[in-house]
Amino acid sequence: MAKNTLSFVCQNCGAAYNRWQGKCESCGEWNTLAEEDATGSIPVSIRSKRKGRTFALESLAGKTQDAPRLSSGMTEFDRVTGGGFVRGSVLLVGGDPGIGKSTLLTQATSLMARAGHRIVYISGEEAIAQVRLRAERLGLSDAPVQLAAETSVEDIVSTLSEGAVPRLIVIDSIQTMWTDTVESAPGTVTQVRASAQALIRFAKKTGAAIILVGHVTKDGQIAGPRVVEHMVDAVLSFEGEGSQQFRILRAVKNRFGPTDEIGVFEMTGLGLREVTNPSELFLSERDLGTPGTAVFAGIEGTRPLLVELQALVAPTSLGTPRRAVVGWDPSRLSMVLAVLEAHCGVKLSGHDVYLNVAGGLRIHEPAADLAAAAALVSSLVNAQLPTDAVYFGEISLSGVVRPVAQTPARLKEAAKLGFQRAVLPESARGEAGGDAGLTLNAINSLTTLVAEIAARGSRRGESNAPAEKNATPARFRRGEG
């Protein structure tokens, strides 16, 4: 009998070591190494030697067909997946605990089952009675979804192989599954990898689409080995703040569709409601006429999205001022603050800076630089920005406002929601055209925007004395404001 070989595997990234150590050198996490049996991770049938077979090689030229899709019955869900579920595909859905992953999948599976498809929902965390209670609360208890509470992968595959092949299978969650081919506890890296591989093999063999629900770590990353994300066809992230009613479904990886689309949902007492016009929802509770607020015209995938950026600049009593940001890249905020100080004379080293994206949305594109800068300067000089204006543009390190993509779509969305003006890069004026229906304020440098905003307001506690429009205010240069 071969001697068992023990190794220590990181439960966060899957890196293996010969001895235990406190910190994983691969991902930098502490106390994540667990002892596992290395010999039991590979079945004997796979380790046995066999002679390879030859196969035919083909050229790039040839006819291709679009992958057939199975609609989920939810427009926002189909938008993110690229039009529906592809036969034989495997999706990994991750999100914070209690964010609504099970609610979303319960609604989607119920709609598909009512359409006449065989849908199977297998829960490894909840009993069947708990799943039924959720369906009853959502008003979906009459949907013919087949339920099971099981964690053995071999039993699941054997049961699903009988009768007609299910069109969609939900595994909630992959961390609770275990297989006899490995000798590790459920939830370990080896078990998660082996269980996912067995389910993926079943999906590719039978053509059934499978959704794997995954836990997330404290920093929002899907728990378990990174190799699982490479094995599946799509990785979806369900995001949102617990205090907000908005939920964002975002595609992190998708082999059959775009990876920059988002689906917007609103959490209600009857489950998740699809939001067809997110811009109107995010701007429904705007702080009109308040200094430090600016509306950003952004793009998420192919969908234009308007959202409010809120900034607060206040004198600090600390040696090192605070820099807090929610919904935007902190490094991007630091860059904008540096450009404002270096090229516009706006001294913020003695002020605390807070920036928030209203509605719980996370912005990733650099086009929000101009709106963030406008909100920051507006709060600093206590100036109210025009309530009918939108801002978008990328700020370079030299203070030049650079153009961004899809300018016409941004302007069209702003005009549809009743905005009258748009502040955009000078080089994007020609792309905007004359049919936008908005008054365009094209600027070439950030200094121009700072001077225009400073002319509207004053420092807190001072009179509203107008500043020169063609020059940076003197108090910015002296560091007083």
Spans of all domains in the chain? 6-40, 70-275, 281-478
Strand 303-315 relative to strand 293-300: parallel, antiparallel, unpaired? antiparallel
- Spatial neighbors of 51 by CB under 8 A, at least 6 apart, are none
The token pair that represents 383 in the structure block: 């100036």
Q: Residue 436: its pLDDT value, please?
A: 64
Can you tell me the mean pLDDT for 126-135?
94
pLDDT attached to residue 468:
38
Decide if 74 contacts 100 (C-beta within 8 A): no
Within 10 Å of residue 74's Cβ, how many Cβ atoms?
20
CA 270/CA 281 separation, integer angstroms: 18
- Which residue do the tokens 């009512």 mark? 114
> pLDDT higher for 123 or 97?
123
pLDDT tens-digit map of 288-328: 878 999 999 999 888 899 999 999 999 998 888 999 999 99
Q: What is the mean pLDDT of residues 178-198?
A: 87
> 14 and 189 in contact (C-beta within 8 Å)?
yes
Token couple for 176: 């609770």
Measured torsion, CA atoms of residues 326, 328, 331, 334, in degrees rounded to the nearest 10: -70
- Confidence at residue 297, expressed as pLDDT on a 0 to 100 scale: 94
SS3 state at 249:
strand
| Average pLDDT of span 104-114 | 95
Q: For residue range 194-233, list pLDDT tens digits in order.
A: 999 999 999 999 999 999 998 876 665 666 666 788 899 9
Q: What is the DSSP letter of 467?
A: P
How is domain 70-275 classified at the architecture level of CATH? Answer: 3-Layer(aba) Sandwich (3.40)
**Is 70-275's fold the same as 281-478's?**
no
Percent of the chain with pLDDT over 70: 86
Which of 1-10, 16-25, 230-239, 370-379 is least confident? Answer: 1-10
pTM of the model: 0.77
How confident is the model at residue 379, as a pLDDT? 94
- The first and second tokens of residue 441, run together, are 């304020």
Choice between 64 and 327, residue whose per-residue pLDDT is larger: 327
- Give me the architecture of the 281-478 domain, per CATH: 2-Layer Sandwich (3.30)
SS3 at position 306: strand
